[in-house]
Structure 1
């Protein structure tokens, strides 16, 4: 039986749509259209159903038909604006709502949608004004306050957090079921470091809209922040079972797997994330980092190529690419990409060069002659990382061949060492407001890119670092006193460093516990001294036989002492730290215990070290396996001692 009360059927259809029953709404609208194929309410309502289902083409055809028959129908025109927004055409949406507001300026719904179009166009101030007008016209409109809060977050960041939260609270007063307000409150609480508050807001959003994957993800993120990794993992696994194509779940599961030391699971999740979002450069870069840590270098390199194809300016990916290239011997390309480190906020904030760079031009490698205002004077600035500074000093002589004078700016009391480096004419200790007149300035780490010919023989010129005679003599006497070796005592004297920089740095894969060196300490016919400085010296007291290791780290007060101590022993055994680079630059015998995948300067596979010929690497057989590296070093030491 055909429906005769068309108006009542359209009203009922809209009620079914508002009640979340689009199938029933579509049935009623179609019944009306059988009786009246151009009925404006039915066409507009059915177009709304199509939009809710994501069928934008069908919705556009219905609206085209309706607009042809009823060009001035406001619902039809409003729906056309909504369709433009859905189809990511905010310009078209803005035109629609401006036309509607010209005849109905107080319509809160049109003002809200106009604000959404402006927001999509990046016109945030204008969007905020449109939302504010909507709130004035309809004070109980929760969506208006929700959007105003979002605008304050976009416009003011943390400074607008208080005002944004007030808007979200008002939105919830107007509509307690507005889950978007809770989602934004979650973001505010997380940004403020209120982990419990973030979890509460995420839970509320999830309760109100459990069908939205993002709410599950937000709650899982809040649990991760609270350290409840197993609970977060369980929640995400349930989400994954229901929404198998939700890539953010895979990314967060990968993060959890990393924190739980499950690298294989993390890699699997990241592989899945790149399948779901192949255009996500960050996912490819994260996958590359994990593959690299597992020693899967070729796969990591390929993942980085994909990341950089998608985001060529991704500094972290470029830096990682550079490290792999350098480790593989691709030096020119590697150093070019290594320069991306200076674009990373954490490095840039601590980079001496950035703090000192004034009006002087950056040196481009061209000759600086005596006829320039400062007589061809180049100023070199050290790297934030001492290890890199020690390595890069080898290029000072090549730079000096192109300029008349080089001054090195000393940040860490290295002057007695640096002023003996070939190519360095003067060393100037740096005060916070140092100003050294020069013709050009450059960071030390830029020299390989400016002097590519110097890369042809990377180990040339070693040793280029040496100890001042007075410091060398003082440490020779100190070591002789504790070694107490007679004239016929040929036992080698070995100096040990087991943590980078003399500090205990949790999570640093280069660092090891002193107890892990027990097999080395048991090698007979060897004397051991500790050159470890900083808090890690306390580990000596925890040894089963602390008398096997004589502590000297308490006498190391700076780089000069460290260099003199390294020169005073027969062999240094260190982890990857500035002391290893210092020993290599001085041409001293040094054995370096390395993670399974070590930094680029130690090369990726067995054999020697292209940068420091006197250094012998001992690498873990597997990630985290210090036992294998120490055992290999102990065997070599036993042979050295004649055992």
Structure 2
């Protein structure tokens, strides 16, 4: 059996060789045998620090210090993890004790200078740096870091990918003035080029050398936010705020992280804290504008965006906030100009392209709108949904003798709306079309396509057991077909029905719905809550209740999935029959709709289904609806049988519901004449 000394040697060899899991296990076993083994406590603490467990590391260092209080290395390591934990005063105290034990501890002097600066003791920090340079005269060369040669060397290392050497070179004690901006700029370039992993590694390397460097913390926070990890972004931003509470940028990054988590009030407070530090901090005015718009204060949001742009005319995000506010204020052409201003400043800003696309399509400017809509895969709304295909994107050229894969995207309603372009593809003469569709649509689409030319296949994400895609020469997302075949609203292929129900199912439902008199009206009141704007577009059952007061109508609930909870505990009128539990799939819904006189729906998939079937459909719309319903009209070029009822005030469904109820009464009266 190995002695503790031998076990320590083996564990240290694992540790030094990067076999951290094995080292951790062996350190733990040593401490199981001897909980007071100071060296094991120390080394395990170092390992915890290396694996991002600073709290555990600090606890072990404290325990080891109780056993060997005069060990300067232990005090130094404790100080470093306290810096990581944002405990600046604790780090200062630990480093002060380190230097009392070993006055010439150069690394401790350097960290002490940084820690003092982090808690506002700038004079003591400067004195410590001077003391360090006295002990290490060779560090004097760092004083000349501003010299072009040194800066050039750092950039050259970064360009060669020697990030570790560049970080070491540019973070020398007196190198920070030039070195840190170089490293920060390089990290920003990596982020802009999509090389987020490399950027994060650079910043983590910088923080390993300078744990209290707030500039690196801000950038790393923003990187984590872009990667979708808002909680990590918040932790990093809070560390930056703790280290330098007077720095506006740290509070601004914290505001972004909080906003991404839906914590609006906290985000507003962080934004105001940034402006308290720097009243001219333009990004914070822009961020506050975006947060203000979330509660419908669009005029105030516009003011804040304008203020940001007076301070920083090149701030692209502020132009986007301004454009969003102008959209809500019914100034679409001014909004378009704002989004284009954003793109002049930042041509690759995906959110500006995404918002401009929706605006242009809403205005009916289809050529420009479809082009901008191709940016959708880089938008936050569809982040991660872009799928890699080995086949090239089809550009509309002749398909004779070739095979094409058309793949569905986004929601069921999008597929129903855009599958109309399949006929245009077939006219291009492909040898075979593979149409990939959502699982609930498969049976409906299979019976509405020619199996000799079109093979309907399921989306792999809907059926985990399905793997791989068929061989094809080219591919295209379903909604991208509009950019090839629909240059204007007038060019929409709007012949209906372009989908037809299964005759057998339709006959079964005809028999079931035959009993009783009155108009037969289907109701759908809610969409998919995973869609970011569903709360705005769905009136819910309560918003549709005025329609249910109309006599002479038999109402049939077609609501599936989320939204059905609205029926719980509600005393529905005798004229209402809930069919939801009996609807097996979209083909069932289509069969039911074929036997109805009218469908009244929110902006969701069943509205598109009714329109595609040629069934009369009334759609209740938010004041600023989805782009496909255009602006200021009560009909739709996409669906000849559709009638639109629009809100006049955001969030108020009483207007469209009352208008639909009046129209329904008229329809009942006409049917009885």
Q: How does 1:13-92 map to 2 (within 5 A)?
A: none
Structure label with greater radius of gyration: 1
Contact 1:395 1:454 in 2 (8 A): no
Q: 1:258 aligns with which of 293, 317, 334?
A: 293
User: Structure 2: how far apart are the matches of 1:189 and 1:318?
Assistant: 23
2:306 matched residue in structure 1: 271
2:99 matched residue in structure 1: none
Deviations 1:395-450 (A, max 9, x none): 22222222054423233233332244467732232354344344443333233333
User: Structure 1: how far apart are the matches of 2:187 and 2:635?
Assistant: 58
Q: Which stretch shows the higher mean deviation, 461-470 or 151-160?
A: 151-160
TM-score under structure 1 normalisation?
0.69
SS at match of 1:257: helix
1:358 matched residue in structure 2: 390
RMSD: 3.9
1:331 matched residue in structure 2: 366
1:400 and 2:435 matched = no
Say how many residue pairs are matched: 513
Deviation of the 1:299 alpha carbon: 1.9
1:574 and 2:591 matched = no
Q: How does 1:347-426 map to 2 (within 5 A)?
A: 347=382, 349-351=384-386, 354-355=387-388, 357-359=389-391, 361-369=392-400, 372=401, 376-413=402-439, 414-421=441-448, 425-426=453-454
Deviations 1:118-174 (A, max 9, x none): 556754855742552577x87x999899899978997745567765544334xx5xx
Q: 2:353 aligns with which of 293, 318, 325?
A: 318
1:447 and 2:481 matched = yes
Contact 1:168 1:185 in 2 (8 A): no
Contact 1:418 1:427 in 2 (8 A): no
Distance 1:293 1:206, change over 3 A: same
User: Structure 2: how far apart are the matches of 1:417 and 1:606?
Assistant: 30
Distance 1:292 1:115, change over 3 A: farther
SS at match of 2:601: strand
Deviation of the 1:109 alpha carbon: 2.9
2:23 matched residue in structure 1: none
User: Structure 2: how far apart are the matches of 1:116 and 1:518?
Assistant: 70
User: Structure 1: how far apart are the matches of 2:357 and 2:522?
Assistant: 33
SS at match of 1:634: helix
1:193 matched residue in structure 2: 231
1:603 matched residue in structure 2: 630
2:82 matched residue in structure 1: none
Distance 1:294 1:124, change over 3 A: farther
Deviation of the 1:504 alpha carbon: 9.0
TM-score under structure 2 normalisation?
0.66
1:168 and 2:200 matched = no
SS at match of 2:600: strand
Contact 2:406 2:475 in 1 (8 A): yes
User: Structure 2: how far apart are the matches of 1:377 and 1:187?
Assistant: 43
SS at match of 1:500: coil
1:472 and 2:506 matched = yes
Distance 1:325 1:567, change over 3 A: same
1:217 matched residue in structure 2: 252
User: Structure 2: how far apart are the matches of 1:189 and 1:382?
Assistant: 30
SS at match of 2:399: coil
Q: Which stretch shows the higher mean deviation, 617-626 or 555-564?
A: 555-564
Distance 1:222 1:311, change over 3 A: closer
Deviation of the 1:584 alpha carbon: 1.0
Deviations 1:170-216 (A, max 9, x none): xx5xxxxx765776787799767257745652442344xx3x43244
2:572 matched residue in structure 1: 545
Deviation of the 1:218 alpha carbon: 4.3
Deviation of the 1:279 alpha carbon: 2.1
1:625 matched residue in structure 2: 652
1:298 and 2:333 matched = yes
2:324 matched residue in structure 1: 289
